[in-house]
């Protein structure tokens, strides 16, 4: 397996160049990036610490409205504010799930973590209840790369990419292969599955 690719602003600009070539909505809705102190203030209520790769993500641009990154109904480039809101909501849901049961504090915590781990921070949700998440706990703050997990609609989480940089490279490869194109007549991304590069997991879309 290849080493994880670390996210850089150049890599993000390479992705944005593809968006601009298609004149995709996400390219026209990019918001100004955040400073480190703004990032810290936004996640402070959650007790999280945003890892370096994820800082690069939101320092470059703080989302692109609710526009999809490479696939209509797929991963959206949300602001950090919206991602914090999602994490807060998911923590509340996880807490509510445990209430009908007579559990010890440890059992309640374990059950809640099975629904939503408190270290998780959404990176980019999609339109069907799934999302790409990262771990932003105290131990994650100094890690060079940030593994991305895919959390499906029923709460199961599995590795999606070994780093945010690797995920961005995969999106670029999908666009370069012609597996996604933007159709302005339909006002949507059009998926061409037969052009998906070999070995790619369509969960990245």
pLDDT digits (tens, 9 = 90+) for 117-144: 889 999 998 877 899 999 999 999 889 9
Place 107 in a pLDDT band, splitting at 50, 70 and 90. Answer: low
From the list 87, 86, 98, 79, the residue with the least C-alpha distance to 47 is 87
Q: What is the pTM of this model?
A: 0.92
CATH of residue 178: 3.40.1580.10
Q: Is the residue at 109 inside a domain? A: yes
Q: What is the mean pLDDT of residues 142-159?
A: 91
Place 109 in a pLDDT band, splitting at 50, 70 and 90. Answer: low
Number of domains in the chain: 1
Say whether pLDDT at 59 is over 90. Answer: yes
Report pLDDT digits (tens) over 191-203. 999 999 888 888 9
Q: Is the residue at 140 inside a domain? A: yes
Q: Could you list the residue range(s) of the whole structural domain that residue 17 is in?
A: 9-204
> 125 is written with which tokens?
């949700």
Q: Is the residue at 1 inside a domain? A: no
């Amino acid at each position: 397996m290849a080493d994880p690719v670390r996210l850089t602003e150049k890599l993000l600009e390479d992705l944005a160049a593809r968006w601009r070539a298609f004149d995709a909505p996400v390219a026209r809705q990019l918001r100004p990036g955040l400073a480190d102190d703004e990032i810290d203030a936004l996640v402070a209520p959650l007790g999280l610490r945003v890892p370096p790769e994820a800082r690069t993500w939101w320092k470059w641009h703080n989302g692109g409205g609710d526009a999809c990154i490479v696939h209509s109904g797929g991963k959206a480039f949300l602001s950090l504010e919206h991602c914090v809101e999602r994490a807060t909501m998911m923590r509340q849901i996880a807490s509510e799930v445990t209430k009908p049961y007579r559990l010890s504090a440890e059992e309640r915590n374990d059950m809640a973590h099975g629904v939503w781990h408190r270290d998780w921070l959404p990176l980019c949700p999609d339109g069907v209840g799934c999302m790409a998440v990262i771990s932003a706990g105290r131990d994650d703050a100094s890690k060079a790369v940030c593994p991305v997990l895919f959390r499906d609609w029923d709460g199961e989480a599995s590795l999606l990419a070994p780093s945010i940089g690797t995920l961005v490279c995969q999106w670029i490869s999908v666009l370069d292969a012609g597996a996604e194109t933007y159709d302005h007549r339909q006002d949507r991304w059009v998926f061409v599955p037969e052009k998906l590069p070999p070995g790619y997991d369509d969960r990245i879309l």
